[in-house]
Amino acid sequence: MKQFEGRVIVPGTCQAEALVSHGGLNTLASFQKALQFGDKKATCGDQNNPDLYGKEMAGKALCLPQTIGSTTGGMVLFCANAMGRNPACLLFSKPIDSLAAAGAILSDVWTASSMPTIDSLGDDFLDAVQTGEMLKIDEDGTVTVL
Which helix (DSSP H) or strand (DSSP E) does residue 10 occupy?
strand 7-10
Q: What are phi and psi of 125, to 5 degrees?
A: -60, -50
pTM greater than 0.85 (yes/no): yes
Domain with 132, as residue range(s), is: 2-145
Q: What is the pLDDT of residues 7-17, one digit of tens each?
A: 999 999 999 99
**How many domains would you assign to the chain?**
1
Q: Cα(109)–Cα(58) distance, rounded to whole angstroms?
A: 20
CB neighbours of residue 30 within 10 Å = 27
CATH code, 110: 3.50.30.10
pLDDT tens across the length of the chain (146 residues): 899 999 999 999 999 999 999 999 999 999 998 999 989 999 999 999 999 999 999 999 999 999 998 889 999 999 999 999 999 999 999 999 999 999 999 999 999 888 999 999 999 999 999 999 999 999 999 999 99
Q: What is the pLDDT of residues 35-62, one digit of tens each?
A: 999 899 999 999 999 999 999 999 999 9
Which helix (DSSP H) or strand (DSSP E) does residue 119 occupy?
strand 117-119
